[in-house]
Every structure is written in C-alpha cells, then in structure tokens.
Amino acid sequence: MLCNPSEHLRIDRRALLTAGGVGFMGLSLPELLGAATDGATGRKIAKRAILIWLSGGPSHIDTWDMKLDAPREFRGPFEPIATSAPSITLCEHLPHLATQAHHLGIVRSLGHYGRARNDHHTGYFYNLTGQRPEPPFLNTRRPKPNDAPYLGCVVGAKRPPHPYLPQVITLPDLAGDPPGQRPGQFAARLGVQHDPLVVVGDLKKTLDFKVPSLTLQGEISASRLRDRQTLLGSLEDADQALERSFATTNYSRQQAKAFSILCSPQAKAAFDVSREPESIRRRYGSELNATSMLLARRLIEADVPFVTLFWKSDYEEEKRLGCLAGGWDTHYDNFGCLRKLLLPKFDRPFATLLADLAERGLLEETLVIVTGEMGRKPKIGDPRSGGVKGAGRDHWTHCMSVLLAGGGVQGGQTYGSSDKTGAYPADRPVEPEDIARTIYYAMGIEDLTATDPDGKPFELMSDGEPLTGLF
C-alpha cells in the first residue's frame, strides 16, 4: 500500500513541467518532417546542438585568439601551436584540440560594446539569450519569470517533441553558486514547461548522473508507476497544491511525459554513461566535465535537440592550486590556472567529442558551440590579486571569442578579428544577438515569434543577423 507517495517520489513543479515541455510553437513544415536541408538553399540544417559554457569567462588571448606581436604585458608567456587547419593557431596547451581545428569556425570579434555591465550576470544573460540586459542589471539579480528565454529553450520549443526524452537538457548542474542563480538559463517568458531538465553529476563519482527531482525513492518502482491510475491518484493525494498554484494546460500530458522518463528503458540507457566501452571512456577522461561531454554525445545520439554543459568547478582542487575565483574566472594566476588545470581538463575531452561525433557521422548534423560570459582583460595584472605580480586577468566583456563546429559550419576558418591586444573587435564586429541568430540559422529556425503562458504573442528576437559566412 502506498501511504504517502510524496515521501517516495520527488517531482518538483519545474522538473515535472520540463519533462513535458513539448509543443509545436511556430513549427514550419520542414521542421515537422525533420528535414535536414534548407529547401531554398540546399544548406544542411543542424538537427541538434551542444552548447559548452566555460563558466567564469575564458581568456580569449591565451587560448584561441593569441596576440603574438603584442607587448609581453599583454600577450603573456604562452606560445602558439600549429593545427590541422593552416589558418588557425591555438595555444600550446591545447594540443588535442589542435588536431581537430579543421572542424572549427572561430568567431574572434564578439563584444558587448558597453551595452552591458562588465560582470558575470550581464554576460550570462546577454550571451545565453541574445537579448541586451536592461539596466540596472546587477550581479545580485536573479532569474525572473518574464525574462527573455534561453536560446536552447527556444530551440526545444520549436522542435517536434522527442518520443521519450526532454527537448532541452542541462548538465552536470545549473549555472551559479548556488546552482540556478545566474539569469538567462531558463525558458522564462516561454513558460516553465519549456525549461531544461537538469541532470546533476557528482565530482567524485563521475559516471553517476541523476535527475534529482525525477528520482524514484523508497518503495516506488517503475513497474508500479506504469499503473497510471495509481500514479495519478497518488500524485493528487500527495500534492494538491501543485495544481492549485499553477494553471497548467495539457497537465496530464506533461505528467505522462515526466513519468515516461522514469519508466522508459531507452531514457535510462541514454543517461547511463557506464554503458560506454571503457576504451571510449578513457578517450574522454574520468573528470566530471569530461564524462559530461560523453553524456552529451549520448544524448545527441538519442536525438535530444539541445544539450547544455555548464562547466563544473572542483573548488577543493582549485583552491589547492591557487585558482581562487573558481572556474575560468582567472583573477588569480591566470597562466598557472590555465596551464595546470583548465586547459588540460578542457582540451582532451572536447577534442575527443569533436572526433567522436565526426567518426559516428553526427557532427555534420550537430552544431557544437563553446562560449562563456566574457573574455579576460588584455593587460595582465588584476588589482584583486596584487596587480602585475599576481598575474591575473580581470573581467572583459568588450571582446571575446566563440568556437563553432559541425551543423553546417565550414571548419578551419576564423570570422572577424580583434585589435592588436585583443581588447576590442576590429574586423567584422559581432554582438551576442548575432551569435544567437547564427545558432537559430544553423538549426533552421526562422519563425521567432512565440506566445507566453498568458496567451500573449511576443517576439523572441528583433535584433541581430546570422553569420552566414561561416556556412
């Protein structure tokens, strides 16, 4: 007998509605039919996307936009390395990625142009949504229901529903500390039913991924969940407040989608990284961000439309190595943190992801994006870490780079350029709205209208132009 199902089955409002986040909002006929080409141009259309977010803001001039002729106080100690693409040079501490540079299209002229504050929150919101943050947009601002939606949620809402998995998945956790505090990563004005399903990874048990709010506990089994009458009756008894608090159209449909994740063998298999051959797991590596990239590939292979990976920091390890700000926010010992920790942990699994997708014939129809909220200040010496002696780089939203691969992007090229010290865009300047438009363009999404939960129509984007020269 099931006495109190709420003690055994934890399904919160956000995850329940996310799991049911399906819809045909603004779908065109090619999208409904799953067409892989643009009928007008014959251009390949990406069916899926992986966005890898380097939380904290990676130093563009120490990685993929090196300024070899700049004075030493700008360019730093790193040397370039030859790559598989003659027109691309990368940092010497990216040897694995260098072998995959022929897949890359690197945008080197992205900047915020003073339209947003020089901090993390504005960088997150602007780059994740393609919408300019309205001032004041302080670092203490939290996500709001009427925010512009995350571009991944837009893609998920515009695509036909997946038969057994959510449209949008975020891993190995939400962004922010505590998780979820950064704005721009939710469906927001689109409605909570389009939010990402969050899959949480463990820094110590890196093959152990869970969906906390969709985890069966205690006496409940998947076979008992299949008894629909028992399930729905138990849910009503356990949490009547859910339906009272949120007016949810198609609620039973969303319920069914949520519970299908728990019951579906295919869904369980997609999340089970341990099923991968040991040789593949070794190629990616055993650290959590590495296994998250492997899980992202598994989800893409299962046809999830959009997967987001927010870089997860191991604060204990970073503190031990003197990387005190966390993640790619290299205020302290920028070069040591990149050389000893960040670049090795990114280089191998990301290069493996590109190679793995290509080997499986998935890269051409999968758009891969690597970005963050900002670049780093060109002149070495952050006051917070003792100036020049501390060898840190401060925030810098005025110029940054974005890596693109697959999904119709012509690899082995760069787009635009920054000035001689990497401080500001020089040739073909680009804004975050242009990157958002480029992602939509790659995925064949032309209709950027939507309806909010109150039934009011609104424009998802009014600014920006796709960088069609990349394709």
What is the tens place of the pLDDT at every residue in 159-198?
Answer: 999 999 999 999 999 999 889 999 999 999 999 989 999 9
Task: Work out whether the CA dihedral 82, 100, 410, 113 comes out positive or negative.
Answer: negative
pLDDT more than 90, % of the chain: 72
**Which residues are within 8 A (CB) of 412 and not within 5 positions of it... i.e. 6 or more apart?**
84, 85, 86, 87, 88, 101, 102, 103, 104
pTM over 0.85: yes
Question: Average pLDDT in the 248-262 region?
Answer: 54
H/E stretch holding 309 reads strand 306-310
Kindly report the number of other CB atoms within 10 A of residue 120's CB atom: 22
Kindly report the number of other CB atoms within 10 A of residue 202's CB atom: 14
Alpha helices in 202-314 (DSSP H): 222-225, 228-238, 240-245, 251-263, 265-271, 278-284, 288-301
Question: Can you give the pLDDT at residue 38?
Answer: 72
Kindly report the number of other CB atoms within 10 A of residue 100's CB atom: 22
Residue 426, pLDDT above cutoff 60: yes
Question: Can you give the pLDDT at residue 301?
Answer: 97
Q: What is the pLDDT of residues 38-83, one digit of tens each?
A: 766 678 899 999 999 999 999 999 999 999 999 989 999 999 999 9
3-state SS, residue 164: coil
Alpha helices in 340-467 (DSSP H): 343-359, 432-442
Looking up tokens 């299908």 gives: 260
Residue 257, pLDDT above cutoff 80: no
The rounded distance, in Å, linking the Cα atoms of 168 and 156 is: 6
Third-level CATH fold of 24-219+267-470: Alkaline Phosphatase, subunit A (3.40.720)
Question: Can you give the pLDDT at residue 264?
Answer: 79
Question: Can you give the pLDDT at residue 51?
Answer: 99
Tokens read off for 394: 């401060």
Question: Can you give the pLDDT at residue 82?
Answer: 95
Tokens read off for 141: 């601002």
| Sequence-separated contacts (24+) of 353-361 with Cβ below 8 Å | 353/50, 353/284, 353/293, 353/294, 353/296, 353/297, 354/100, 354/103, 354/405, 354/406, 355/99, 355/100, 356/280, 356/283, 356/284, 356/297, 357/297, 357/300, 357/406, 358/103, 360/301
**Which residues are within 8 A (CB) of 283 and not within 5 positions of it... i.e. 6 or more apart?**
352, 356
Q: Where are the domains of the chain?
A: 24-219+267-470
Binned at pLDDT 50, 70 and 90, residue 33 comes out as very low
Q: What is the pLDDT of residues 286-327, one digit of tens each?
A: 999 999 999 999 999 999 999 999 999 999 999 999 898 899
Residue 341, pLDDT above cutoff 70: yes
Question: Can you give the pLDDT at residue 221?
Answer: 57
Region for residue 357 given its phi and psi (left: phi exceeds 0; alpha: psi -120 to 50; beta: otherwise) = alpha
CB 126 within 8 A of CB 398: no
